């Protein structure tokens, strides 16, 4: 098991993870910053203030406030609406590395993602469950919205995954 500390992973270590597919998890020291950020986002979202993308629409719909009972549906729909990749899937090793890189990113505690999401990604890595991520197509300047949407879809039981090398519904 490789234990990662956000901000310290070397390129050599990431290459080892990519080549060998070893189970990977975040260091427990990441939990504090992650929990604090998640609690902050939850507290703000529970308030009456509009929080872009949490309890509002997106883009031109940013001024539309979403009812608290509908915010989970909003988030689910956001993920699914960005699952627009096409073509052959990334190879499993690259998809796994993408998951590890996402762990390192959200493990810094600046995103507001809760620890159970991290635990889900870790469990998928440990059990050899890898999202099917198409190689083509993305949305936005960063170029990673569609690939990350396919990864997030697998986390919520949507889309497809590879399990033990076999492609199947999530």
pTM for the full predicted model: 0.90
**Hey, which residues does 130 pair with through a beta bridge?**
162
Mean of pLDDT values over 125-136: 95
- Which of the residues 49, 52, 127, 169 is marked catalytic? 52
pLDDT bucket at 141, cuts 50 / 70 / 90: low
Domain ranges in the chain are 2-169
Whether 124 sits among the annotated catalytic residues: the reply is: no
Question: What's the fold here for domain 2-169?
Answer: Fumarase C; Chain B, domain 1 (1.10.275)
Query: How do residues 79-122 score in pLDDT, each as one tens digit?
Result: 999 999 999 999 999 999 999 999 999 999 999 999 999 999 99
| 3 state DSSP class of 97 | helix
b/e map 52-88, b = 16+ CB within 10 Å: eebbbbeeeeeeeebeeeebeebeeeebeebbebeee
Q: What is the spatial distance between Cα 86 and Cα 147, in angstroms, rounded to a whole number?
A: 10
Mean of pLDDT values over 140-160: 90
Provide the mean pLDDT of the chain: 92
Q: What is the spatial distance between Cα 154 and Cα 164, in angstroms, rounded to a whole number?
A: 15
| 3 state DSSP class of 118 | helix
Query: How do residues 39-51 score in pLDDT, each as one tens digit?
Result: 998 888 888 889 8
Residue 113 · residue 34 · CB < 8 Å:
yes
pLDDT value at 140 more than 90: no
Q: What is the spatial distance between Cα 126 and Cα 122, in angstroms, rounded to a whole number?
A: 6
pLDDT value at 158 more than 80: yes
């Amino acid at each position: 098991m490789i234990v990662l500390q956000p901000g310290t992973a070397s390129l050599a270590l990431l290459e080892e993870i990519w080549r060998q597919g070893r189970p990977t998890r975040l260091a427990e020291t990441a939990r504090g910053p992650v929990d604090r950020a998640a609690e902050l986002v939850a507290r703000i979202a529970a308030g009456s203030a509009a929080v872009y993308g949490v309890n509002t629409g997106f883009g031109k719909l940013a001024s539309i406030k979403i009812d608290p009972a509908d915010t989970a549906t909003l988030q689910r729909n956001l993920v699914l609406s960005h699952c627009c990749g096409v073509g052959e899937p990334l190879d499993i090793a690259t998809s796994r590395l993408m998951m590890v890189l996402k762990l390192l990113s959200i493990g810094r505690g600046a995103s507001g993602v809760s620890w159970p999401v991290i635990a889900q990604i870790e469990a998928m890595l440990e059990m050899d469950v890898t999202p099917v991520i198409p190689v083509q197509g993305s949305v936005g300047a960063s170029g990673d919205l569609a690939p990350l949407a396919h990864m997030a879809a697998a986390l919520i039981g949507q889309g497809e995954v590879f399990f033990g090398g076999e492609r199947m519904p999530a």
